[in-house]
Structure 1
Amino acid sequence: MKIELLHSITHDGQEYLPGLHELPDALAAQFLKFEWAAQPFAAAEVKAGAVREAPGPNLQLEKPVIAKAGVRS
């Protein structure tokens, strides 16, 4: 489960710094008990479905359409 740590947490001798972490579900559930220190990761963009995967190295970009101005008489 992906969670966001708001503060550092030390668990079993390992320190987890603030930021996004992909953790086993059981460990994430333990951290989420402390609402002041952790929250489930759900960015507004993800909820809205607006997040798009970053383009890979083989992406072929389309050329932009350029409008040509005509001369009026």
Structure 2
Amino acid sequence: MPAYDFPEDLRAAQLALHQTRTAYEEYAAILPWSAEPMPGWESEKQLHTTYQSGKPDSPGYGEDGLLA
């Protein structure tokens, strides 16, 4: 298996990309599902499946676009 000697700036950029993506996913996981306050909902169970979808109430984002 050949070993490639990638330039250090390319390796640093790739690491920064992975760190940024991880930070984005962590932040997105705590955001409400709606930017504006909205009531939650729950669907009826569908025939031939155990999946039942729904969402809790969403408080929306704050004035600055962050969490309320």
TM-score band by shorter chain is under 0.3
The structure with the largest alpha-carbon Rg is 1
TM-score (norm 1): 0.21
TM-score (norm 2): 0.22
Q: Is the strand fraction higher in 1 or 2? A: 1
Q: Is the helix fraction higher in 1 or 2? A: 2
